[in-house]
């Protein structure tokens, strides 16, 4: 065999070895497990109370508090529109929120709001939709449930809102939230927002209603109504962030069954 033939044979052998080696490397890479990206740590969801609105610099004048005729505690309001007559604004030296008329007696009106709206105070102003302000005292404040009960004089022109039950509500049922977001900037009729019953939740043993109905600063303590205009909760909090991810439409109201427990305590 000539020298040229030997060199050609060596070149063919080296080429064959190179092809086999590259093929084996490709197979090994194809069979190797793919490294998955590292997942982020578990997100911690924190329910944040809907903030109150800063108080106005010039308070409204308080009228003479002459009693008005009493109405039955469970006056019938058949839909959310009529329930507007039972919504009030709550004003303290530290901020402003919303509330609703629970009951009218001959000499006083019981009003329910969120406990964080009246935190740190014993006397507040309850303002009807016509702008009339009435002095009220805090009868009970349950910070665990975030529910407070106020006693005001007999407020003119308001009607108690009847109560419903969260146990009767199917998921997806329509809900309406009434209140005074942005406070004095929107004085007059309460703001109405609509959503659905997204879920029932329990935090620290307390029953809540989850809804996608909008809740903005100043709405805290406002009633959450079912389709018949009955109170099934009060607006108290929202989840604005899931870790560093902004959340939308994850809002919460304390269930009516929890509110009733606080009212019973306030009257005992």
159-210 per-position pLDDT tens digit: 999 999 999 899 999 999 999 987 666 566 788 999 999 999 999 999 999 9
Place of tokens 């805090």: 138
Mean pLDDT of 143-150: 97
146 counts as catalytic: yes
User: Which one of 39-43, 113-117, 178-182 scores highest in mean pLDDT?
Assistant: 113-117
Beta strands in 80-131 (DSSP E): 87-91, 96-104, 108-113, 123-127
226 is catalytic: no
Per-residue model confidence (pLDDT) at position 192: 92
99 backbone dihedrals φ, ψ, rounded to 5°: -165, 180
The confidence score (pLDDT) of residue 188 equals 66
Can 220 be counted among the known catalytic residues? yes
pLDDT for 16 equals 60
Supply the pTM of this predicted model. 0.72
pLDDT in tens, 214-253: 998 899 999 999 999 999 999 999 988 888 888 889 999 9
Rounded Cα–Cα distance for residues 95 and 190 (Å): 17
Is residue 62's pLDDT more than 80? no
Confidence band (pLDDT; 50, 70, 90) for 59?
Answer: very low
Give the sign of the dihedral formed by CA 16, CA 21, CA 26, CA 30.
positive
Do 238 and 252 touch, CB atoms closer than 8 A? yes
Assign 49 to helix, strand or coil: strand
What Å distances lie between residue 112 and 30, 117, 167, 190, 251, CA to CA? 67, 11, 21, 16, 19
Q: Given phi > 0 = left and psi -120 to 50 = alpha, else beta, which region is 190? A: beta
Banded model confidence at residue 268, pLDDT cuts 50, 70, 90: confident
**Is residue 116 predicted with pLDDT exceeding 80?**
yes
Measure the CA angle with vertex 231, ends 181 and 242; round to 5°. 55
Q: What separation in angstroms does the CA of 220 have from each of 19, 90, 164, 249, 251? A: 74, 10, 19, 15, 11
In the chain, the domains with their CATH numbers are 48-262 (2.40.10.120)
Q: Which of 98, 142, 146, 198 is catalytic?
A: 146
Percent above pLDDT 90 for the chain: 51
Which residue of the set 129, 183, 198, 220 is catalytic? 220
| Rg, the chain, Cα only | 31
* 70: CB partners within 8 A, 6+ apart: 104, 105, 106, 154
pLDDT band at 36 (very low <50, low <70, confident <90, very high): very low
- What pLDDT is stored for residue 52 in this prediction? 61
Provide the pLDDT for residue 23: 54
Q: Are 104 and 85 contacting, i.e. CB atoms less than 8 angstroms apart?
A: no
Q: Which entry of 98, 116, 142, 184 is annotated as an active-site residue?
A: 116
Task: Name the nearest CA neighbour of 252 among 147, 162, 121.
Answer: 147
> How far from each other are the two terminal CA atoms of the chain, in whole angstroms?
117
């Amino acid at each position: 065999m000539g020298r040229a033939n030997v060199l050609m044979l060596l070149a063919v052998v080296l080429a064959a070895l190179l092809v086999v080696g590259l093929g084996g490397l490709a197979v090994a890479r194809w069979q190797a497990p793919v490294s998955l990206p590292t997942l982020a740590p578990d997100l911690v969801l924190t329910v944040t109370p809907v903030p109150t609105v800063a108080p106005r610099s010039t308070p409204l004048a308080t009228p003479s508090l002459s009693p008005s005729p009493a109405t039955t505690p469970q006056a019938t309001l058949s839909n959310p529109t009529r329930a507007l007559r039972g919504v009030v604004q709550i004003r303290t030296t530290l901020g402003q929120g919303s509330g609703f008329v629970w009951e009218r007696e001959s000499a006083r009106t019981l009003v329910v709001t969120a406990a964080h709206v009246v935190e740190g105070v014993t006397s507040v102003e309850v303002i009807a939709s016509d702008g009339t302000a009435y002095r009220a005292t805090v009868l009970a404040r349950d910070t665990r449930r975030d529910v407070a009960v106020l006693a005001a004089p007999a407020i003119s022109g308001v009607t108690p809102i009847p109560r419903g039950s969260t146990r009767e509500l199917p998921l997806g049922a329509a809900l309406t939230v009434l209140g005074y977001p942005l406070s004095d900037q929107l004085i007059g009729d309460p703001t109405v927002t609509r959503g659905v019953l997204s879920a029932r939740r329990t935090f620290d043993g307390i029953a809540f209603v989850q809804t996608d109905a909008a809740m903005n600063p100043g709405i805290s303590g406002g009633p959450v109504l079912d389709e018949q205009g009955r109170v099934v909760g009060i607006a108290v909090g929202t989840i604005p962030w899931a870790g560093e991810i902004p959340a939308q439409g994850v809002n919460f109201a304390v269930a009516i069954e929890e509110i009733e427990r606080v009212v019973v305590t306030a009257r005992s």
